[in-house]
Structure 1
Amino acid sequence: MLNFAGKSVAVAVSAAFTVFMPLGAEAAAIGPHAALCDNGGSAVLVQVEGLKSRTGKLRVQLYTNNSRTFLEKGEWLERVDVPVPSSGGANVCVPVPKPGSYAISVRHDVNGNGKSDRKDGGGFSGNPDVSLGDLISKKKPSMSKAEFSVGNETRPIRVVLNYVQGLSFEPLKRNR
């Protein structure tokens, strides 16, 4: 092993990878199908970002790439409900039935009451813009902006949550 100033190069390289990994990538998969993602199986690893709080539950739903059934009640292929982790990344593993095109929706039920209310947040694969007017009129995001493909391996998908803030529905602004 090579040494540099008394430290092994392997330690330095390992530290560099830790510093440059994307936010949330270092966290293990969560949910009932976590082992599938941990082993690289045919699944989606939904990396949920922008949580308003570390309370409540996350609901992640997988849909086919059919705009008629996207977000319709009971039309999801797979649904995973997990408590919001108290720290670290919120990387939810969702299995897919076969390789193909899909879309994901995520809801952060902040108070864990099982009902959608003004304090809850949400987001979609592809992170399409959704306005407060879209929410009120129940207008769905475009399927072309939300869809993605999955093969026989785990596909990471980043979803940034949006929350109602005044007269808008957008990611939280952090001044920290």
Structure 2
Amino acid sequence: MALTSRSKTLTCALAASGALALGLSAADPAPAAAQASSKSDYRNIIANNMRACAPGAGPAIRVTINGVKASRGTIRAQVYNGTSAEWLETGKWLNRIELPARAGRMTVCLPVPARGSYAVAVRHDVNGNGSTDLRSDGGAMSNNPSINIFNLGKPGVDKTRFAVGDGVRAIAVTMKYMN
């Protein structure tokens, strides 16, 4: 399913505002069942199992999400291969965690299939409607790239990727909201 011009406009507007440059359209067109169609396909909506980030576990990414503005709505964290061909491309994420939002700080554990380069995107759908709302929703990315309001594109993978070894890699992201 191609992004509509409205979805593209929303994505660019969010990138421009610095609120949510996640490349996530209002509706992710491929349901989990379609995405996890074969054993070689690693895309999954998973539970937040912190045991996967315990000492000796891995490979995985422990993501501390700072600055969640409200205890309402949904937090969505997604991990992508750290390649320009997959970063923020619809349906190219490897694992996704969706949780009820909790104001302040949250932590999630995103397992990855092997050591390598990855990038993480986090979205806060404040009202839980599944749509990107410019005035209320927020987002964050690995390495907390700055977002230039005059650059209407998403931050490139070079600004967001990081290496994961055989163990657990800890990262922290800070949520950005327009309001």
Alignment deviations for residues 39-93 of structure 1 (CA, whole Å, 9 cap, x no partner): 442111110001111111110111111112210110111111111236x730011
When residues 80 and 133 of structure 1 are mapped into structure 2, their CA distance, relative to the original with a 3 A threshold, is farther
- 1:148 is matched with which residue: 148, 156, 162? 162
Matches of 2:118 and 2:89 in 1, distance apart?
Answer: 14
Percent identical among aligned pairs is 41
Give the drift of 1:38: 2.8
Matches of 1:81 and 1:133 in 2, distance apart?
Answer: 31
Determine whether 1:103 maps to 2:119: yes
Structure 2 unaligned residues grouped into runs of 5+: 1-46
When residues 40 and 81 of structure 1 are mapped into structure 2, their CA distance, relative to the original with a 3 A threshold, is farther
Provide the aligned length of Structure 1 versus Structure 2: 131
Question: With structure 1 as the length reference, what TM-score do the two structures score?
Answer: 0.69
Determine whether 1:66 maps to 2:83: yes
Residue of structure 2 equivalent to 1:126 = 143
2:48 touches 2:108 (CA, 8 Å); kept in 1? no
Matches of 2:49 and 2:149 in 1, distance apart?
Answer: 33
Structure 1 unaligned residues grouped into runs of 5+: 1-30, 166-176
Q: Which has the larger radius of gyration?
A: 1
Q: Compare relative contact order (CA 8 Å, sep 6+) and give the higher one, 1 or 2.
A: 2
Alignment deviations for residues 86-112 of structure 1 (CA, whole Å, 9 cap, x no partner): 6x7300111011011100000011111
Residue of structure 2 equivalent to 1:157 = 171
Matches of 1:59 and 1:158 in 2, distance apart?
Answer: 15
Matches of 1:33 and 1:109 in 2, distance apart?
Answer: 21
Residue of structure 2 equivalent to 1:47 = 64
Give the drift of 1:32: 3.1
One-letter amino acid matched to 2:75? L
RMSD between aligned residues: 1.7
